Amino acid sequence: MLVLLLAALAAVAARLVHIQVVEGPAYAAMAREQRDLELSIPAQRGSIYDREGKPLAVTTAAKTVYAVPREVADKPAAARALAAALGGSEATYLAKLGKEAGFVYIARKVPVERVQSLEELELAGIYFQDDTRRVYPSNSLACQVLGFVGVDGEGLSGIEKQYDALLAGTPGKLICEKGLTGVPIPGGVTAREEPVDGQNLVLTIDADIQYQAQAVLAETVERWKAKSGSVVVMDAKTGALLAVASVPDFDPNRYSEADPQSFRCRPITDRYEPGSTIKAITAAAAIEEGLARPDTVFRLPPTLKIGGRTIHEAHPRGTVDWTLTDIVTNSSNVGAVKLGLLLGPEKMYEYLERYGLAERSEVDLPGEAAPSVPRPSHWSATSIGNIPFGQGLAVTPLQLARAMAAIGNGGYLVTPHLLQELPDARSQKLEWPVRKVASPETVSKMREVLKAVVTEGTGKGAAVPGYTVAGKTGTAQKPRTDGVRGYAKGKYVASFSGFLPADDPAVVIVVTIDEPSGSIYGGTVAAPAFSRIGAFCMTHLGIPPRYGAPPGDGTPSRPGTETAPSQGGRG
């Protein structure tokens, strides 16, 4: 008996040694997993402000509601209470409470005031956790620029995504002991790691200019029953974006209810054939190369045959003798091709590249589309007969605004940007690349040419009383999207691109209206919107009128004053 007892004790001792020494770490880990509850303490997401300090996106207190289903005795009654306080259907909450789980989310990031009445009911099995939620005080203002955050607090689009690492901060951790039901044990062992809040951002966006741009754009799209539209307002000298607007838009506070197509920041994501606005670059290239002056006269036949294709004007005319200024002012396709032939394919491409139209602008916003500008080695026999007037290439409105800014600011290609300041890291200097692309003499001459477009030519509707305006109309036919080469019948993008005051530009504005009805011409559809936005910018920025400047009455140019190629697109 003694021997058997000693043997049994030895076996027990051996088993204890095996459990405590050999398998001890594994059992300890299992115990920690069962006992320890690790909760994430969310960091306060940084706020986003406009250039004058107006809040565009802020973080407010919220509550997350969760349940331990097995603790809920009367599930139908609890579902009714949840639906009454939080909204939604009783059936949805009842399904959650019926799950075989120790933990289930009921609702996340709920405004505190909506949860208060529910907390007072003290429902068994229903618990609350402090949380935060993202709020956009001005609803749809700059919605595509700001973007939105997901339920877990990560930036999903716009600035929220671009600068998520700065805004999000670092979440903290709370490790505590939990009981059998999964609820923290009062007085249990805890360990806490404090969160690091995210940084605040100050954007270049001006809330007042942004509001005006969105309002005018929405009215213009509605007026012409268009498919969509976009506006860019940019500081001509620095590239700071004062407004970036797209229609249709959405409310980022309720992004889950919006059409995903409205999330697109069209001035950055949507390419289009710019049409006659490219004539400004073609003319600038001819002047820079010494091939022509603004007063150089060209004999222009009614049509011009290039590589088997006949180039027409939109409206029949006879042979004329027009200067380079007349070519741009009257938006002549034949004249633009004449200038392109003087330049040749290599030089034509070189200047498109110089003015940033063959590269992304590198704006600090996700999703910028790359331009489509073929290299001369890929040109066909007819390319020199359409690229000089903006057909056969595609750019975004922002890339076009950047090119126009170079003409306005003395020949410098700026980098469009939205981040103005990091107030929590003032020592960090923000720098945006700038490069010289044209001589001051060339762009000075081109400003005079583009001023004539507004005072005498197709862009009269862009005039702003008391200010000189320079710009170019565009009415480009849209390429087909069904895999067949050519252009879609009756589908156009009307645009106006320009800057003011013309001799010392404060802002560059590009307005594009996609598939307008009733009229297709940039001078009729887009130019008046440019005028209204430009007038507001001058007043808001405190730029006084220049006495003696053309008064302008904002009257749109007559339909048909812009010219068009023979096979799709308009001048």
Structure tokens at 127: 């618990």
Please state whether beta strands 412-413 and 190-193 pair in parallel, antiparallel, or not at all (unpaired). unpaired
Which residues have C-beta within 8 Å of that of residue 483, sequence separation ≥ 6? Answer: none
Please state whether beta strands 201-203 and 48-49 pair in parallel, antiparallel, or not at all (unpaired). parallel
Which residues have C-beta within 8 Å of that of residue 502, sequence separation ≥ 6? Answer: 408, 447, 450, 451, 467, 468, 469, 470
Structure tokens at 23: 């398998």
Is 276 tagged catalytic? Answer: yes
Measured CA to CA in angstroms, residue 87 lies from 72, 93, 95, 116, 130 at distances of: 19, 10, 15, 14, 20
Which position among 138, 140, 228, 276 bears the catalytic label?
276
3-state helix/strand/coil string of 481-544: CCCCCCEEEEEEEEEEEEEECCCCCCEEEEEEEECCCCCCCHHHHCHHHHHHHHHHHHHHCCCC
Amino acid residing at 79: A
Which residues have C-beta within 8 Å of that of residue 56, sequence separation ≥ 6? Answer: 48, 49, 50, 136, 137, 138, 141, 142, 146, 203, 205, 207
Alpha-carbon gap, residue 264 to 273, rounded angstroms: 18
Amino acid residing at 470: A
Measured CA to CA in angstroms, residue 11 lies from 2, 7, 23, 25, 417 at distances of: 14, 6, 16, 21, 75
Total residue count of the chain as it appears in this document: 571
Q: Which of 406, 392, 389 is nearest to 508 (CA)?
A: 406
Alpha-carbon gap, residue 119 to 114, rounded angstroms: 10
| 82, 93 contact by CB (below 8 A) | yes
Which residues have C-beta within 8 Å of that of residue 186, sequence separation ≥ 6? Answer: none
Structure tokens at 138: 């001005």
Task: Give 55: exposed, middle or buried? Use CB within 10 Å, 0-12, 13-18, 19+.
Answer: middle
Q: Among all chains, which residue has been given the structure tokens 């309720």?
A: 254
Alpha-carbon gap, residue 76 to 544, rounded angstroms: 68
The residues carrying an active-site annotation are: 276
